[in-house]
Structure 1
């Protein structure tokens, strides 16, 4: 069965948004066990795109503990209690000073990454006019949805990375890619539906 290319392109453009990096107030990293997001954030920091970085994450609510490093274990090891601890280690390993890394170590899913990151930046007295988000490429739409809800006046630049071999041009060619990308599309719709119906989101501390 031949699938209409325009239909695939519509899904791809929705799930895989990406921007060129631009000067910002902070770089956000939603929690995960992949180091590539923090590696890119470190590069962007070194290039002067933002003065601070905020990794966020305790561990997945589904796991109940840090699930472990998912790539490059030979480089970073696997002895971390939280996603934040792991991502902070990746950042400092790539030359980011500890003092420019903010701490959020409570979030257990993506929406909490955004909620608690907002609380951290408010507590620090930071006004975030522009923010960069370094996340997994197929996670970019959902990340932007949540962070934009919590930072409604902020302009975001999505600077994602490819992991798990799932790319915007080839995701529909493997079962894992199809399941992952369409799963993300379903979560975007289902979770935003709940937000609209219940009003359970905040725009401040």
Structure 2
């Protein structure tokens, strides 16, 4: 009798394990793909007072997207936010400004923020820059890589929480695209997605 009960329990446990393994096999792709797609915050193109162009780009696509939005009339000014140095001679923000000018954005419509070294500092120093300025739309729009939009929106909205300023974002897409589907099959995409998730979790805990 006891042996029969033991064998029955063993079959139940074995069946549950098989079911669990099959479920993992069938669902791991949607779950991993979902992880990557979650990092991309939906675009929201609304009239804004400033376009906030975040540094950290690799191929100028963030800058091109910011110029495109400026020319489309999304906002009358662009704040370039980056304190990173490319070399002892120049900074990333100056290179981005040079490209904006090449793309037809006049110098008087570009504002430089050159102290930030992280997404949190992008938000912090941007808010400092906007103190005392008159904002008609009470809205800013971030421009950054698609996989960076979720964390950017999260931290900017935290920093601007009591400011009365709405924060939206519009994604740019690098020429060296980070895969959102099957990202674990590409070395660069795997590195980018896992690093971004680690940073997002740190931001959730820290801020």
Query: TM-score range, shorter-chain basis?
Result: 0.7 to 0.9
* Preserved CA contact (<8 Å) 1:18 1:157: no
For 1:143 and 1:19, locate their aligned partners in 2 and report how far apart those are by CA, in whole Å.
Answer: 13
More helix per residue: 2
The two structures, once aligned, show a CA RMSD in angstroms of: 2.2
Match of 1:203 in 2: none
* Preserved CA contact (<8 Å) 2:33 2:180: no
Equivalence map 1:13-28=2 (5 Å) = 13-28=37-52
Per-residue CA distance 1:16-35 (angstroms, 9 max, x = gap): 11314221111111112431
Match of 2:78 in 1: 53
* Preserved CA contact (<8 Å) 1:121 1:127: no
Using the TM superposition, give the Cα deviation of residue 131 of structure 1 relative to its aligned residue in structure 2, in angstroms. 1.7
- Number of matched residues? 179
TM-score of the superposition, structure 1-length normalised? Answer: 0.78
Residue ranges of structure 2 left out of the alignment (5+ in a row): 1-23
SS in 2 for 1:165: coil
For 1:80 and 1:143, locate their aligned partners in 2 and report how far apart those are by CA, in whole Å.
Answer: 28
- Report which of the two structures shows the higher radius of gyration computed on alpha carbons: 2
TM-score of the superposition, structure 2-length normalised? Answer: 0.77
For 2:204 and 2:36, locate their aligned partners in 1 and report how far apart those are by CA, in whole Å.
Answer: 19
Equivalence map 1:149-164=2 (5 Å) = 149-152=158-161, 153-163=164-174, 164=176
For 1:150 and 1:83, locate their aligned partners in 2 and report how far apart those are by CA, in whole Å.
Answer: 23
